[in-house]
Structure 1
């Protein structure tokens, strides 16, 4: 069984290497020039929870103070709009999707906007770290804590996430259980931006309802456990019972 799994892993790796080797050096740039790098259209509605993929754990350092952080810890229990960045144009792409959603829900404690500046190339990663002060000045203060700089290798995770072009931005909507419920890439159309805003609102409402139900259940359990006075007992008998 182990040999079979190893063989399947090697076959998958060979397929991946052949696919990457067949790409020209300027492949992603040429694709971006042709049609803005948009390789798929965002869904109009949420991806069903039972069909949604889990977001892989991504490590990085916070732009604000350099603290080590990871997406599993950051995103669990909240509704998150996650932007994957790598170039200046990708930042523009992310804003076209997220601006209206962030403006509407940023004050909600169950919502957060997380940006990951992913630089898998060692030289570019070094340059980003070197000029972190300049980068920090371009990111609003309130967004710096949840802005991660990462050099994690995503080579085998790009295809499952639909991140087929390293030059464009990708935006995902992640639920409280770390599942990818929506995604978009490159420049957002008006419909796509509206779809993200609508889907985010749906997930927030569902999470708020879960929180209310949980509070009500706890409150109900507490009230059931409280002692109830026996109406048939006189006040004197009740006092004696309490004293005893």
Structure 2
């Protein structure tokens, strides 16, 4: 048993090694990461209070009764084990190889007419226990949405706004901060969602008061979790994701894993374009550095 625990600890520690260290050990096994070449999101425009996914409406009493049902429990256990076997080890390997990157971020934002929508999620914020729609916060605003499921992912997402003041000054956004930063903390399953609820108070204390209403703890996504996550490219449970969402709730740019200098530059260029030029993001005469992609 001690050997097993040591092995697990060693595996966990190895996952934290930076990419440079892994190049020595992984060698030719390091798989390439491709550029994100297509828009992410859902085709249907989100509506407040109308989630794009199944919501588990069982009470805790009903949920507990289903857990105690041996037949249902064994079936669910088999499904979870299959899912874990398929994805968790793969997710950890990807985290080790590419600092969490699932794709290389596009060099510019997606065209408005090609872009898809950020799904509407339901959740509680650090400011209130009431369940609200994320669309109400996103609509009408330029938003940097940071999405994560794990501690690793939260660190990834935070890296995109490192040294933000420098970029705000560079892109002339200091005086006119026409954008917001929104956090989506998405628990992996209902048990983790319940556990996370115990830490809301301490999380709120660490979060500035004016940012608490934009920090969402999303309700467990239920049966369609995989489908909705695939639509927005959220395919690794350990990775953090960042999206620039325009005033019409369309995803105009996306990134995953730890931020590079190029990622930060492109993110803030996109924010500037959408903030100054509206949802289309383009001036009548398109400047070279504000070009978009198909």
The TM-score normalised by the length of structure 2 is 0.60
Q: Which residue of 2 aligns with 1:35?
A: 98
Q: Which residue of 2 aligns with 1:55?
A: 118
Give, in whole Å, the separation in 2 of the partners of 1:151 and 1:209: 31
Give, in whole Å, the separation in 2 of the partners of 1:24 and 1:128: 22
Provide structure 2 residue ranges, at least 5 long, that are not aligned to the other structure. 1-79, 282-294
Q: Which residue of 2 aligns with 1:123?
A: 191
**1:79/1:168 CA distance change after superposition, 3 Å:** same
- Write the deviation string for residues 137-171 of structure 1: whole angstroms up to 9, x where unpaired: 33232211100011231321111211110111100
- Write the deviation string for residues 61-90 of structure 1: whole angstroms up to 9, x where unpaired: 111222322121111111111010211121
Provide structure 1 residue ranges, at least 5 long, that are not aligned to the other structure. 1-16, 211-244
- Tell whether 2:182 aligns with 1:114: yes
SS at structure 2 position matched to 1:67 = strand
SS at structure 1 position matched to 2:180 = strand
Give, in whole Å, the separation in 2 of the partners of 1:110 and 1:209: 15
- Tell whether 2:248 aligns with 1:177: yes
- Write the deviation string for residues 84-117 of structure 1: whole angstroms up to 9, x where unpaired: 0211121211111134457735874631111011
**1:101/1:196 CA distance change after superposition, 3 Å:** farther
**1:86/1:24 CA distance change after superposition, 3 Å:** closer
**Which structure's CA Rg is the greater one?**
1
Q: Which residue of 2 aligns with 1:219?
A: none
Q: Which residue of 1 aligns with 2:227?
A: 156
- Tell whether 2:160 aligns with 1:97: yes
Give, in whole Å, the separation in 1 of the partners of 2:218 and 2:146: 13
SS at structure 1 position matched to 2:277 = helix
Contact 2:112 2:280 in 1 (8 A): no
Q: Which residue of 1 aligns with 2:129?
A: 66
Return 80-89 or 173-182, whichever deviates more.
Answer: 80-89
**1:47/1:119 CA distance change after superposition, 3 Å:** same
**1:100/1:52 CA distance change after superposition, 3 Å:** farther
Q: Which residue of 1 aligns with 2:259?
A: 188
* Structure 1 stretches of at least 4 aligned residues deviating more than 3 Å after TM superposition: 19-22, 99-103, 105-110
Give, in whole Å, the separation in 2 of the partners of 1:106 and 1:147: 23
